[in-house]
Structure 1
Amino acid sequence: MSNTTTNYIGKPASRVDGRAKVTGEAKYAAEFPAPGLTYGVVVSSAVAKGTITKIDTAAALSLPGVLQVFTHQNRPGLAWFDKKYQDEDAPPGTPFRPLYDEKILFSQQPIALVVADNFEVARYAASLVEITYETEPHITSIKNRLHEAYTPKEYKSAEPSPRGDAEKGLAQAEITHEAEYSHPSEHHNPMEMHASTVVLAEDGTLTVYDKTQGVQNSQNYITQVFGLAKEQVQVISPFVGGAFGSGLRPQYQLFLAVMAALELKRSVRVVLTRQQMFSFGHRPATIQHLVLGSTSQGALTAVVHEGFAETSRFEDYTENLVNWSAMLYKCDNVQLAHKLIQMDAYTPLDMRAPGGVTGLYALECAMDELAYKLDKDPLELRLTNYTNIDLSKDNPFSSKELKACYQQGAEKFGWAKRNPQPRSMREGKTLIGYGLATGAWEVNQQKSSAKAVLSPDGQLKVTSATADIGTGTYTIMTQIAAETLGLPLANVTFKLGDTALPQAPLQGGSWTAASVGSAVKAACEGIQEKLLAHIRNLKEGPLAGVQKLEEVLFADGKIILKSNPAQHMLLPEVMRLAGENFIEATVTTKPELRQKKYSMFSHSAVFVEVLVDEDFGTIRVTRVVSAIAGGRIINPKTARSQILGGIVWGMGMALEEESVMDQPYGRFINHDLAEYHVPVNADIHDLEVIFVEEDDDIVNPLGVKGLGEIGIVGTAAAIANAVYHATGKRVRDLPITLDKLM
């Protein structure tokens, strides 16, 4: 930065909220106290489709301490039930409305809420509610139903569009590869379960502590559904125990808690159980059909990518599943299709790198298979088809250091030592495999606001209604503010997660650093401008005569004359001379128009080593090198944590994660952390992250690209490719379990 020498950006600062988290000072949605608090427990449907014919609540209501049992028969009439309101992250369709009527749309649908003076009584009373159903046949699998697939009218982003003539390109191909790739539904499973604590004040206003990735989205939801003014509802979420996309939409516990609080005129807390965390959105199962055509030298002549994904009966959920095949590699003939198949299940929901991690799994495995058919190094094949133009939009990339990712990752990993023949590397009964894959994730900047307030004691408070779902938002925003105004980190406080603060987008899509960070920087620059305005009025002193920001530096709590660093003034001194009790600036930033001329992506190259037991088929991921081109890195320490988390999740996706649907009952049956398998410490070995230097002044004022998604994208494909190299057996249906290898 031209006007500061206090460098915090790019330095590995420890989390400023770390102490609060490890001491228990940090409070989560289900931990805020309230006088006279009551507790709600959700009763879930036992069937996947049908009609409630009878609900008997007498036994539950007879228990001392039970205040009410809410069902579709006694819930309040609400404006929301006209079907018009959708939350900020809702796909096209009619959002699910809890307790709307007697219809059952999916298994574990919330059909009653028992509210009592204490949690134990509420939980026991919920077990006494008796429900009689008239069931209907349900469908909860997309397999063998591709003939029912349809093209949705709307897409979450741009509809995938073809180019060239794929049929002609395939006819010209000397080598072709065609295969089908699939993966099951997966669930987010954050440590903190979804919860809402609704505190009702004497004047009827609500303070809602909600597990969410966007407090303003929850506030808008509540006010629209219940017909309240924004002044009547404050939503607070200072800490979130993981979300991964599950908190982008308001979940049904929020509706139920607010409804009960308004009806009972009491404060109410509703917490979902781990099992109920499987009753709403998840990563959709997909089946993907890939056809690649190439010359004998490996130049792609055609790419055909058709994806089939699940959705609910009431909403059309789409994600960028196939779009990656149009932009990642150079090819003139591309044909894409993304189709949906309806199921009697809840609508899928964004889950870390939605569409990218699954679409690129299929594409990158197909590229690996093509490389073997060509007898070509998989890395060389990718370089043969490298492009600096996003051919799907005919735009140049704002920056693209993917070649450097390939080079640095391969060198660190030792890719050159790979014997190209499958099943050729071993140590005794242990087969060794090397695999690689490319990753990409779109860069976005959203409209955001931030407020900065400088006090006479040199303390700076910066605020924005964004979230921190564990990514390090508190810390990097503190670093950005401290560097911009040249203050010690200890002098800066960043506050988030409150609807009373300036507007911010949902925390998702890897855009928070770019969006909110740009607003924080601009707000602090607004403070700089106001301080300079006071300096211009000085008739004497070390900074008299200064007219432009370019003439000074902000560092060490001072404003320093560039031409003579011995001449400086402390920030509080300037404020005192100006008679200011505080200086504040509120700024809103948004993307620049010039961004539309470019395609903006982060990129990665993931290299993996696996060891496979020849007799038992057990797989160990022993080494991963992930080389990331993610623009400017604000904090290498928290950034590395983001990538490590993505790698571990990619391992889970490749080898363990599967939400198992019991088809006869239409219910996910491994709905707990004992049976839903994720990697644990014993599964993790040598993980290395390389941040490739990348300068980009197009993406946003900070030059950051976001890291939440890029760590997982490509990892599962690299593992799948390594397993093939080790064993000579190609498994195209995730997760790769030992029974599929045997």
Structure 2
Amino acid sequence: MKFDTPAQNNPVDQLKVVGQPRDRIDGPLKTTGTAMYAYEWHDEVENVAYGCVIGAGIAKGRIVSMNTQAALAAPGVLAVITAENAGKLGKGERNAATLLGGPAIEHYHQAIGLVVAGTFEEACAAAALVEVQYQSEGGDWDLADKKPTVTEPPEDSPDKKVGNFNGAFEAAEVKFDATYTTPDQSHMAMEPHASMADWQGEKLTLWTSNQMIHWCHTDLAKTLNIPEENIHVRSPYIGGGFGGKLFLRSDALLAALGARATKRPVKVMLARPLIPNNTTHRPATIQRVRLGADARGHISAIAHESWNGNLPGGPTETATNQSEFLYAGANRLTGLRLAELDLPEGNAMRAPGEAPGMMVLEIAMDEMAEKLDIDPVEFRILNDTQVDPADPTRPFSRRQLVECLRTGAERFGWQARQAKPAQVRDGQWLVGMGMAAGFRNNLVATSGARVQLDAGGVITVETDMTDIGTGSYTIIAQTAAEMMGVPLEKVVVKLGDSTFPVSAGSGGQWGANTSTSGVYAACVKLREAVANRLGLDAARTEFADGQVKAGGRSLPLADAAANGVICVEDSIEFGDLAEKYQQSTFAGHFVEVGVDCATGEVRVRRMLAVCAAGRILNPKTARSQVIGAMTMGLGAALMEELAVDTRRGLFVNHDMAGYEVPVHADVPEQEVIFLEDTDPISSPMKAKGVGELGICGVSAAIANAIYNATGVRVRDYPITLDKLLNGLPDGV
């Protein structure tokens, strides 16, 4: 199905099932431990062996020698896989570094070997016996040191200029110019990266934890140099991803190599310390924001420039995304700079680009509002725009930022905020309020599905879409139930299998909208097939309550499949509406904090997010996504940081003991409001994503609240108490 004109009224608009707060249909499986994750497929294979990954002990250089004899002689050991005996390997499109290093070492903890044994304990004990001699080389591990040398944008990301920024900034009545930093961050999903591989002749089955089945499938085929049809990838349940499981990683490749060498199924998981150093992470940034405005607060000039580092071939963190669209201003400059660093690969983490970009832009907006003596909410509203600032002929498909901010301010009690910092006390606590806008672009991608009707009236949906804890099973089932006029209990959803039609996958906040649109397209074709089987006019047929009605006739839906299952397949393909309209999602984030007047300890007291993201397909699962994102924003503001040893080139706090993430005690009262909205430009579902919108702006709202509480402005995340202590008000 081609989607190239705005959606009209369609069966989804009935909202009998879609749009309702339904429980997750996969919930009982997960709460009873019967949902099978990548490392848990005990019943499908026998005689399983276990692999232990060996990570490089240097950050850059070469392996001089690798003695595996003691490991091979250890109890239970079946094989030791290295680059020397793995055979000729290719490289997928989506890895900056090779997944099995040697002799060259590109980053610390790069996988350089796998010991396979009968038990996990035997494999780990033997891995400790492998002796590796290295020739270490110096490297670049400090973004701040490299920044002065990077003056040109990447070839694929030229600077974007509108009007004359330099002239307008120079002429502005009020100017603001500041530099901020955000640190390297880790996804830290609950489930580690894990895979199990099994060869049957030339055919490989891989059970893995991966958000994008098609990407994993095609890149694994390229890496192993075998046909795609010889690989079957399965990933029905994923214990969190946040972007860290978008790509093929070393656990999957090494499981396949280990299974091929031993002719046994092999399980491989990455131990927690290997994950930050051997997968991907959100890269650190250094960002400069300049704003120029007249005395009344109208922005005339806005510039946002960002530097980050990566391995050669790694992507740029597009932290200036939101600054192209969020606020008005006739004269604009956004630019990216990418330094080559020898740290592990930087790549997508929840809301790549906008998450770190909004952490900075929304502090700068507050600082500018203070210089102008304008309320921060009103300053943002004053500079709202209903069109793309770079192209006034290109409107937003839907833009409710002002309503998000107004609704949030009223609901949160913003009028009680004291504009002058450090004015409110509650015992030992300095109390402050902060806010920020939220913004995330709405991305769309082709997504397919297969649907079938059987003689029992059951609708089965198959798509390689994944559920990373987001509720994909449920919203896909709701879509099929709405389209075919059956209760939710009559729908079976099967996900995460490379034999199913290719979907958009889970990432970029596009998953919910595009995967359900693919199911919508397939159901449109199924409705036509059912009507034809029953001899009804497909254009006038109504599907409701398990019946098919047209021309005064009403027949059971199941009758259409009485003589055989009806199975159809289709995909949603998006036309050029995204070029004609700017499609984005918006939020208003409001936060109250307390800061201990003696220690500088920060406690977030309450949080509110008001979101405008098209039709909300399931308010219950969507709320869960937003509060999870808000919690990640809290972590980014106050504690999350991969600390870089710039002498040796590694993340030193590379486990869940050293890398701080929010826990229950850190998370306060959280409220989420979804504005009534549909966006017919976005898709036939008239929906957009919310899972990443919920993090965008949260950290800045917390930073702004801390400033309001204490008068201390911190521009370097995370905002730890040592950055507050020296600036706390006297006399407290």
Scaled by the length of structure 2, the TM-score of the pair is 0.95
Pairing of 1:96-111 with structure 2 (within 5 A): 96-111=97-112
Take 2:256 and 2:625, find their aligned partners in 1: how far apart are those partners?
34
Aligned match of 2:728 = none
Flag the 1:219–1:242 CA change in 2: closer, same or farther, 3 A: same
Identity of aligned residues (%): 38
Cα distance in 1 between the residues matched to 2:163 and 2:208: 49
Pairwise CA distance, 1:316:
3.3
- Could you tell me which residue of structure 1 aligns to residue 5 of structure 2? none
Structure 2 residue aligned with 1:541? none
1:39 touches 1:116 (CA, 8 Å); kept in 2?
A: yes
Letter in 1 for 2:545: D
Q: Distance in 1 between matches of 2:560 and 2:506?
A: 37
**Equivalent residue letter for 1:104:** I
- Please list, as runs of the form range in 1=range in 2, the aligned pairs for 1:48-197 lying within 5 A after superposition: 48-78=59-89, 80=90, 85-87=91-93, 89-90=94-95, 95-155=96-156, 159-197=158-196
Distance 2:205 2:165 in 1: 56
| Preserved contact between residue 397 and residue 600 of structure 1 (Cα < 8 Å) | yes
Q: Aligned ranges for residues 438-453 of structure 1 at < 5 Å?
A: 438-453=437-452
Aligned residues of 1:446 and 1:515 also touching (Cα < 8 A): yes
Amino acid at match of 2:448: S
- The aligned residue for residue 58 of structure 2 is 47
- DSSP-derived class of the 2:295 partner: coil
1:499-648 mapped onto 2 (5 Å cutoff): 499-535=498-534, 537=535, 547-550=537-540, 552-561=541-550, 568-576=554-562, 580-648=563-631
Match of 1:738 in 2: 721
**Letter in structure 2 aligned against 1:657:** E
TM-aligned CA deviation for residue 150 of structure 1:
4.8
Instruction: Tell me the number of residue pairs that the alignment of Structure 1 and Structure 2 aligns.
Output: 712
Counterpart secondary structure, 2:405: helix
Query: What's the CA shift for 1:591?
Result: 0.8
Which segments of structure 1 move beyond 4 Å, counting only runs of 4 or more? Answer: 1-6
Question: Could you give the per-residue CA deviations for residues 248-293 of structure 1, whole angstroms, max 9, x where no partner exists?
Answer: 1111111112122223332221110000111221000000011111
Q: Secondary structure at the match of 1:67?
A: strand
Q: CA deviation at 1:393?
A: 4.3
In 2 relative to 1, CA 55–547 (structure 1 residues): closer, same or farther, beyond 3 Å? closer
SS in 2 for 1:659: coil
Partner of 2:692: 709
Question: Hey, what does 1:426 align to over in structure 2?
Answer: 425
Q: Aligned ranges for residues 30-45 of structure 1 at < 5 Å?
A: 30-33=39-42, 34-45=45-56
Task: State which drifts further: 40-49 or 360-369.
Answer: 40-49
Any gaps of 5 or more consecutive residues in structure 1?
538-545
Residues of 2 paired with 1:689 and 1:281: CA distance?
30
Alpha-carbon distance between aligned partners in 2 of 1:584 and 1:133, rounded to the nearest angstrom: 57
Which runs of no fewer than 5 residues in structure 2 stay unpaired?
Answer: 1-8, 726-732
Which residue does the alignment assign to 2:465?
Answer: 466
CA deviations on 1:337-386 (whole Å, 9 max, x unpaired) are 10011211122010000010111111110000001111110011101111
Query: Where do residues 637-716 of structure 1 align in structure 2 (5 Å cutoff)?
Result: 637-716=620-699
SS state of the match for residue 489, structure 2? Answer: helix
Letter in 2 for 1:513: A
In structure 1, distance between residues paired with 2:153 and 2:72: 45
User: Quick one: structure 1 residues 464 and 490, their matched pair in 2 at CA, closer, same or farther if it must change by over 3 Å?
Assistant: same
CA contact (8 A) 2:287 2:305 kept: yes
Deviation digits for residues 604-632 of structure 1 (CA, Å, limit 9, x no counterpart): 01011111111111111111110000100
Alpha-carbon distance in 2 for matches of 1:77, 1:49: 22
User: Secondary structure of 1:711's match?
Assistant: helix
Q: Which whole-Å CA distance do the structure 1 matches of 2:208 and 2:711 have between them? A: 49
Distance of 2:126 and 2:651 partners within structure 1? 25
Aligned to 2:24: 15
In the aligned structure 2, how far is the partner of 1:361 from the partner of 1:166?
23
Equivalent residues of 1:107, 1:667 under 8 A apart: yes
Equivalent residue letter for 2:33: G
Amino acid at match of 2:71: A
Q: Please, what TM-score do these two structures have when normalized by structure 1?
A: 0.93
Amino acid at match of 1:573: D
Query: How far apart, in 2, do the equivalents of 1:15 and 1:443 lie?
Result: 24
> How far apart are the structure 2 equivalents of 1:211 and 1:381?
44
Deviations 1:477-523 (A, max 9, x none): 00000011110111101111001101112310111122111110111
Please tell me whether the aligned partners of residues 6 and 554 of structure 1 are also in contact (alpha carbons under 8 angstroms). no
Q: Distance in 2 between matches of 1:246 and 1:351?
A: 6
**Residues 103-137 of structure 1: per-residue CA shift (max 9 Å, x gap):** 22211111221111221111000011111122222
Partner Cα distance (1:237, 1:504) in 2? 13
Contact 2:61–2:105 at 8 Å: present in 1 too?
Answer: yes
Q: 1:159 to 1:586 in 2, by over 3 A?
A: farther
Deviation at 1:708, TM superposition (A): 1.5
Larger mean CA deviation between 4-13 and 413-422 belongs to 4-13
Question: Which AA in structure 1 matches 2:264?
Answer: R
> RMSD of the TM alignment (CA)?
1.6
Task: Give secondary structure in 2 for the equivalent of 1:143.
Answer: helix
Helix, strand or coil: the match of 2:161? coil
Tell whether 2:453 aligns with 1:454: yes
Contact 1:160 1:322 in 2 (8 A): no
* In structure 2, distance between residues paired with 1:224 and 1:443: 31
Match of 2:258 among 253, 260, 276: 260
| 1:213 maps to 2:219 | no
State the distance in 2 between where 1:115 and 1:17 align: 33
Please list the CA deviations of residues 583-642 of structure 1 after superposition, one character each: whole Å capped at 9, or x if unmatched.
222112111333320000010010111111111111111111100001000100000000
Structure 2 CA distance for partners of 1:726 and 1:734, relative to 1, 3 Å: same
1:287 aligns with 2:273: no
Q: Is the alpha carbon distance of 1:633 and 1:99 closer, same or farther for their aligned partners in structure 2, counting shifts above 3 Å?
A: closer
Letter in 1 for 2:287: Q
Counterpart Cα distance in 2 of 1:735 and 1:548: 58
Alpha-carbon distance, 1:204 to partner: 2.9
Q: What's the offset of the Cα at 1:434?
A: 0.8
Match of residue 434 from structure 2: 435
| 33-42 or 353-362, which deviates more | 33-42
1:477 matched to which residue of 2? 476
Return the alpha-carbon distance in structure 1 between the equivalents of residues 203 and 619 of structure 2: 42
**1:493 aligned partner:** 492
Q: Distance in 1 between matches of 2:177 and 2:139?
A: 33
SS of structure 2 residue aligned to 1:186: coil
Deviation at 1:698, TM superposition (A): 0.5
Amino acid at match of 1:30: Y
**Could you tell me how far 1:10 is from its partner in structure 2?**
1.0
Q: Secondary structure at the match of 2:162?
A: coil
> 1:134-168: CA deviations, max 9, x gaps?
2222321111321122545444xx64411111111
